[in-house]
Amino acid sequence: MTDQDKVLLETIGLRFRAKRNDLYYSLRDLSHLTGISTGTLNGIEKGKDLTLTNFLILCQTLEIQPNTFFQHEISFQAPYSLPPDAQERILLSKKLDDLVYHSDFFHTARRVSEVLSQLGIDKSQSNKFSVYLTSYCEEGALVYEQHGNYKTYLKKN
């Protein structure tokens, strides 16, 4: 968890505590109203242990609109990066989507080897790409024709 996230959770917790105090509720009172244990409520008010479910329950019980907590832009950046194999898979999926949906490459029947060549991918990946191309057929974007031990793929009209 980033420092920015910790500060946000602490701010939310303080806001819940302030509203609880404004309503003259003890932690036990709020626990009875929400079904959330006093220990968990105490943690939430200190910026810990907040789940989305508990957040929504507290907003409903304390009559706080959830959007009031997020008046400032939240930075969109994952705290960690994807492993290289996942990054490569995503990049290849985008390239393959572009070939299928945004080009006329498949207006001519194509073998898997031609697809690999077009994408600059090693032929050792042919089995994996056969599976990928078959999924485009199942989605209705491509059709295939069997030619002995290989298939050709064509954009569906």
> Which residue, 57, 77, 75, 73, is CA-closest to 16?
57
Q: Are 151 and 130 in contact (CB under 8 A)?
A: yes
Specify the pLDDT at position 69: 85
Specify the pLDDT at position 56: 96
Question: How far is Cα 93 from Cα 87, in angstroms, rounded to an integer?
Answer: 10
> Which residue, 54, 52, 49, 58, is CA-closest to 17?
58
Specify the pLDDT at position 79: 76
Specify the pLDDT at position 65: 94
The set of residues, in sequence order, having a beta carbon less than 8 Å from that of 52 and lying 6+ positions away, is: none
Question: How far is Cα 153 from Cα 133, in angstroms, rounded to an integer?
Answer: 8
Instruction: Report if pTM > 0.85.
Output: no
Specify the pLDDT at position 154: 96
Q: Token digits for 147?
A: 């030619």
Specify the pLDDT at position 61: 97
pLDDT-flagged residues of the chain (< 50):
none
Question: How far is Cα 114 from Cα 151, in angstroms, rounded to an integer?
Answer: 11
